[in-house]
Amino acid sequence: MEKIGEKSPLSASLCLHQRQMIRQGIRRILVISGDSRWCQQQALILAQLLPGDWPWIGEAGSAQTKIIPTYAAKTLLGQEKMHAIFDATTAFDVEALAVLAGTLRAGSWLLLLVPKWSHWPMLIDQDSRRWCGQEQAIATPHFIYHFQRQLLADNEVAFWHQGHCPILPLTESRPPRRGIDGMPTSKQQAILDRLMRAESGVWVLMAARGRGKSTLASMLVTQWPGTCWVTARSKSATQILYQQVTKKAVFWAPDALLVFCRQHDVKQVDWLLIDEAAALPVPLLSALLAYFPRILLITTVQGYEGTGQGFLLKFCARLKHCQYLTLTDPIRWAANDPLERVLDQALLLNNPSKSKTGDEKREQGSLKIIRIAQNEAWQKSHLLPDFYGLLSNAHYRTTPLDLRRLMDAPGMHFAAMLADETLVAAIWLVDEGGLADTLARDIWAGRRRPRGNLVAQSLSAHSGQWLAPILRSRRISRIAVMDKWRRRGIALRMVLAEKQTAQRLDFLSVSFGYTDELSAFWHACGFKLVRIGSHKEASSGCYTAMAILPLNTAAKTLCQSLQQQWVRDRIWLPQWQCYPLPINKIEDRSLNDEDWRELTGFAYAFRPLEASRAALQRLLINSLLPLPALRQYLQQQLPIAEIIIHCHLNGRKALTSCWRQEVQQALLNLDKSRHDIWQKWVME
């Protein structure tokens, strides 16, 4: 490593490195470690030395620089930048870091600002509040140690520690990168030839960032003799493609395109290209496909894309005659790019478990289940990349956020099934429940929404079972089996093993995108379906289903109440009509105690109308009062805007208040003493 001393100007050394990086077509990361203000000052100095775009992502920065908050990092997808700054001195959002790195052109420096190196692992990470399941941020030593090791292990990472001279990598001999001459690579040309011959169908172009997906799409638009339309969630998200085809193709916002297709004939359009297709809701994608003879879906299948894996695993698998295309060699930078390499290693973006399938012919008796403690064993174990890689391959929601949760969030439990030392299956569970009575009531009433407790809170907030968060439970967050080991009862065996270790709990739970196959699996494991969500997930296109496995009498009572309520409410909830009933049908339109509690919670607390819909429908049947705002919405199904005009209100908030007041009046009119009892219970 070459040290830059006082007699060797920093600017000259950086410029020398950048010229070489441009020739070699690579990008590098410079880690600046120290006090937050010092790190930011050095970043500003470097940004002034080297001309470039210099987007700055972080929670704080200099007044001279426009800061992009980490939550807005995905607005950069589809763009190209020269040089960037990522401030991780107080909060380390690794997904935003990966997105930012994916925008950088060859020759770029990524400046990563981090706390003092020796202190960093034990410092509170403010980003952890998003994923740790607690109200307070936590320190994340396991992940930070892991990340530091990956940086130190790569000899092309540059460092600048406060109080020391910067240390830049020695200039290594790499072959000069072949210039980009606008001509397609052999792989791009082969794919382009196939698309140019296409008569109809859906084509899915998948690759990691920088592989030339958008460039290939622009070549198709340019060479196609007919009409091509382009859509994406925003023009900024498809900047590379849009800039290259703006004179030839018409760009549409997805929602506007669907409206246009429903109102006009679009048969003259030969191709619809959907850039970053994984970012669009599945129902919208499905609707658009029906209107065009040829569709090219372009998506980045990499963990930090959020729904990218869901797009591949759920949506594309359902398409008939879908043809898959892939690009593997980088175009925007050279192979073995230092920045891509170190982030792939640190964030486990390359899914290493694909290459390890085990001996599928081995007898079941040779398999063993081991429990994995969430401590430094993760750091030293070869299981970490295999475990996380298997989950990434199998689950559409696995992102680097899950890697952080896996390594440092409290209340996590892990087990793996091994054949000899080869990973065959993995399961990940999360503790939930055990909340105080007062907090549980506040969750039910809509007054509080603490972090974590996904199923326990949902059964209270949406299904009205306020006791659910009080009971102690454990949710199965992920379960996956290697492809060649499936259909052997391995997943069932792992779930039953978890049941045996959870005897001090009240129930196990699971939340999943509903399909008949998954529902049948969880039923075989002993779980009872207790809730179906009201909206389809953007990532899977499925309704969210929740099921529980009761382990004692209290949980069995909860399960019975949930299933009875589901069956009783079914007639008022259209999205539930196509799902099989968990128990025999119940014909009852009277108001029982659970209805009174639900209605009083809506009237005097903050229960949402969607959660109270069935009870409100029964109230309208049993009440003789006019209740115009409620009847217009629930019985006459008038649009919200029309009801607001009819009732002389000034907006949606006023309408909600009107609904609550009407319920108060109806309950008082039906039975004042019963009303008073439940009002007191709700207000306590």
pLDDT at residue 238 tops 70: no
407 and 549 housed in the same domain: yes
73 and 131 housed in the same domain: yes
In a domain, 581, yes or no: no
Output the pLDDT for position 381: 66
* 156 annotated as a binding-site residue: no
Instruction: Determine the residue type at 513.
Output: G
Output the pLDDT for position 357: 46
Does residue 85 contact residue 29 with C-beta atoms inside 8 Å? no
Per the structure, how many domains does the chain have? 4
Output the pLDDT for position 236: 61
Mean residue pLDDT across the chain: 87
- Rounded to whole angstroms, the Cα distance separating 102 from 349 reads 12
- Rounded to whole angstroms, the Cα distance separating 327 from 241 reads 16
Q: HEC string of 126-177?
A: HHHHHCCCCCCCEECHHHHHHHHHHHHHCCCCEEEECCCCCEECCCCCCCCC
* 517 annotated as a binding-site residue: yes
Output the pLDDT for position 240: 61
Output the pLDDT for position 65: 66
231 and 104 housed in the same domain: no
- Mean pLDDT throughout 364-391? 79
Among the residue ranges 51-60, 155-164, 499-508, 588-597, the one predicted with the least confidence is: 51-60
- Rounded to whole angstroms, the Cα distance separating 633 from 216 reads 49
Among the residue ranges 239-253, 317-331, 348-362, the one predicted with the least confidence is: 348-362
307 and 401 housed in the same domain: no
For residue 615, the domain's CATH number is 1.20.120.890
In a domain, 145, yes or no: yes
Q: Which two tokens stand for residue 340?
A: 């891509």
Output the pLDDT for position 404: 94
* 479 annotated as a binding-site residue: yes
- Rounded to whole angstroms, the Cα distance separating 567 from 554 reads 20
Output the pLDDT for position 202: 93
Per-residue confidence band for 312, with pLDDT thresholds at 50, 70 and 90: low
227 and 319 housed in the same domain: yes
DSSP of 35-51, one letter per residue? -HHHHHHHHHHHHHHS-
Does residue 347 contact residue 226 with C-beta atoms inside 8 Å? no
Backbone φ, ψ for residue 226 (5° rounding): -105, -150
206 and 278 housed in the same domain: yes
Q: Which residues contact 523 (CB under 8 A, 6 or more apart)?
A: 529, 547
For residue 210, the domain's CATH number is 3.40.50.300
DSSP of 433-484, one letter per residue? E---HHHHHHHHHTS---SS-HHHHHHHHTT--TTTTTSEEEEEEEEEE-GG
Output the pLDDT for position 421: 82
Q: Tens digit of pLDDT for each residue in 431-475?
A: 999 999 999 999 999 999 998 999 999 999 999 999 999 999 999
163 and 27 housed in the same domain: yes
Output the pLDDT for position 355: 40
* Strand-by-strand arrangement of the 227-231 sheet: 250-252, 227-231, 269-274, 294-300, 201-207, 322-326
Percentage of the chain with pLDDT > 70?
A: 87
* 59 annotated as a binding-site residue: no
pLDDT at residue 396 tops 70: no
User: Which one is predicted more confidently, 265 or 278?
Assistant: 265
Output the pLDDT for position 55: 94
* 480 annotated as a binding-site residue: yes
Does residue 374 contact residue 412 with C-beta atoms inside 8 Å? yes
pLDDT at residue 601 tops 90: yes
DSSP of 475-532, one letter per residue? EEEEEEE-GGG-SSSHHHHHHHHHHHHTTTSSEEEEEEE--HHHHHHHHHTT-EEEEE
For residue 453, the domain's CATH number is 3.40.630.30
Q: Which two tokens stand for residue 503?
A: 């005897």
The DSSP code for 1 is -
In a domain, 179, yes or no: no
For residue 7, the domain's CATH number is 3.40.50.11040
In a domain, 431, yes or no: yes
pLDDT at residue 282 tops 80: no
Full residue range of the structural domain in which residue 29 is found:
2-168
Q: Tens digit of pLDDT for each residue in 545-574?
A: 999 999 999 999 999 999 999 889 888 877
Q: 485: closest CA among 647, 359, 352, 333?
A: 359
pLDDT at residue 3 tops 80: no
373 and 270 housed in the same domain: no
- Rounded to whole angstroms, the Cα distance separating 505 from 474 reads 8
Domain end marker among 168, 201, 228:
168
Q: Tens digit of pLDDT for each residue in 29-83?
A: 999 999 999 999 999 989 988 999 999 999 765 555 678 999 898 888 778 899 9
In a domain, 352, yes or no: no
Per-residue confidence band for 363, with pLDDT thresholds at 50, 70 and 90: low
163 and 234 housed in the same domain: no
525 and 404 housed in the same domain: yes
* 332 annotated as a binding-site residue: yes
Among the residue ranges 16-30, 69-83, 377-391, 490-504, the one predicted with the least confidence is: 377-391
563 and 468 housed in the same domain: yes
In a domain, 417, yes or no: yes
Output the pLDDT for position 415: 94
pLDDT at residue 310 tops 60: no
Does residue 428 contact residue 477 with C-beta atoms inside 8 Å? yes
The DSSP code for 366 is G
In a domain, 345, yes or no: no
Output the pLDDT for position 397: 64
DSSP of 272-322, one letter per residue? EEETTGGGS-HHHHHHHHTT-SEEEEEEE-SGGGSSHHHIIIIIHHH-TTE
- Mean pLDDT throughout 584-613? 91
Q: Tens digit of pLDDT for each residue in 161-207?
A: 999 988 888 766 777 776 666 688 889 999 999 999 999 999 999 88
- Mean pLDDT throughout 592-596? 96
- Mean pLDDT throughout 629-642? 96
Output the pLDDT for position 483: 83
Per-residue confidence band for 513, with pLDDT thresholds at 50, 70 and 90: confident
Output the pLDDT for position 559: 97
pLDDT at residue 302 tops 80: no
In a domain, 584, yes or no: no
Output the pLDDT for position 351: 59
275 and 240 housed in the same domain: yes
Output the pLDDT for position 505: 97
Return the top range by mean pLDDT from 123-127, 314-318, 353-357, 510-514: 123-127
